[in-house]
Structure 1
Amino acid sequence: MTAIQERALVKPPSRQAIWAAYAAVAAATVGFLPLHVIWALGIPLFADPERFAVWHADGGGTYLITLNVLAVLPAILALALVRPWGLQFPTWTPIWRGKAVPRALLLVPGYGLAVVLGAYTAFAAVLAVVQWGDPRAIFSPWTGVYGIPQFIIWVAGLTIATTSYARRTAR
């Protein structure tokens, strides 16, 4: 059976899965990236300027650039879970053009990332509480209040979209 025939047998994603995937994309791009790009540029928005400058120069800037680049990948993954190119490689891919996308290629990172982001969200929540009012903290604890809901949306959206993909592509 060709990839096109296999794709025709897969049900389209539910409206809920599509909304969840796009919510995950928004959390990763519109929610996460703006503040982290500002920090990567060395601007201490919602941060102690002196502590931030030391942290940024000591590898924090590189860390933030890496995080920003890596935040784009889960956004692409979330889209792939609900778009046709998550079932069949697009024609512009030179080696895999028209071939079926292996399920594990999306399921393993989808569920794995949901677990890792969920753990990070729990860690960030605890850290926000522990560092609340700590004069040595680099970032304002309000950044946790801003960021944690985004991570919850990101994790939930990715989990729903991945589960939908797993069910739709089960043989």
Structure 2
Amino acid sequence: MPELTVRPAGSSTEVPPPSRRAVQAAYASVVSATFGFIPLHATWALGIPLWAHEDRFREWYAVGGGPYLLVLSGLALAAGVLAMSLVRPWGMVFPGWAPFLGRRRVPHRSLAGTAFVVSAFLLLYTAWATVQLATDFDDDGIFSPWIVVYGIPQFLVWGIGLFIAARSYHRRTSPGRRAGPLG
């Protein structure tokens, strides 16, 4: 990928490109969100009880489990777009085709803040799931407890990758930015 230096509209300074590490972290976060999270949750949203206790799953699904899982999948897709925006030019300036926003600056604090909050949530959820796995590994829930063994590494990649990309974005776009190897 060629290194792009972006000059947001209304800005007299250029924003340096993200580091290779930040780009790799963002892509890892996107892959974790879209290919790690969405397929399994979309399978469940379609009513397929993969790695679930069928009777308990059917009861849960009948009272709104499907729409809930579709919303979660949509949020994961949005988190993937968020991660990419931290390392692509459209995270600095809205694309020209965007209604009402085209070619305007993206508010960098809002984008970086959202990414930091989502990353913190993902990492706190991962910590909670790890504690639950260690203290209450039973088979009484809807889903097999072994699903957490898959989910913990997937959420770690997602949360850490998003944090690294957000940190890079924040450092590169902040007034008085500091150049550095994590840039």
TM-score > 0.5 by shorter chain: yes
TM-score, normalisation: structure 2: 0.87
Q: How many residues align?
A: 169
User: What is the CA–CA distance in structure 2 between the aligned matches of 1:44 and 1:169, rounded to whole Å?
Assistant: 45
Unaligned runs of 5+ in 1: none
Matches within 5 A, 1:27-66: 27-66=32-71
Structure number with higher helix proportion: 1
Q: Choose which of 119, 124, 133 in structure 2 pairs with 1:128.
A: 133
Residues 87-114 of structure 1, C-alpha deviations (whole Å, 9 max, x = no match): 0110001212111111122111100101
Unaligned runs of 5+ in 2: 1-6, 176-183
User: What is the CA–CA distance in structure 2 between the aligned matches of 1:81 and 1:146, rounded to whole Å?
Assistant: 26
Asked if structure 1 preserves the Cα contact closer than 8 Å seen for 2:33 and 2:80, the reply is yes
Counterpart check, 1:110 vs 2:115? yes
Asked if structure 2 preserves the Cα contact closer than 8 Å seen for 1:7 and 1:87, the reply is no
> Percent identity of the aligned residues?
49
Question: Which structure exhibits the higher relative contact order, with contacts defined as CA atoms closer than 8 Å and separated by 6 or more residues?
Answer: 1
Aligned partner of residue 152 in structure 2, secondary structure: helix
Which amino acid in 2 is paired with 1:88? V
Which amino acid in 2 is paired with 1:162? A
Considering only aligned residues, what root-mean-square deviation do their CA atoms show, in Å?
A: 1.6
Q: Choose which of 70, 74, 77 in structure 1 pairs with 2:75.
A: 70
Asked if structure 2 preserves the Cα contact closer than 8 Å seen for 1:114 and 1:158, the reply is yes
Residues 62-81 of structure 1, C-alpha deviations (whole Å, 9 max, x = no match): 21111011111110000000
Structure 1 stretch displaced more, 99-108 or 5-14: 5-14
Which amino acid in 2 is paired with 1:140? S
Residues 93-142 of structure 1, C-alpha deviations (whole Å, 9 max, x = no match): 1212111111122111100101111111112222333442x242211111
Aligned partner of residue 140 in structure 1, secondary structure: coil
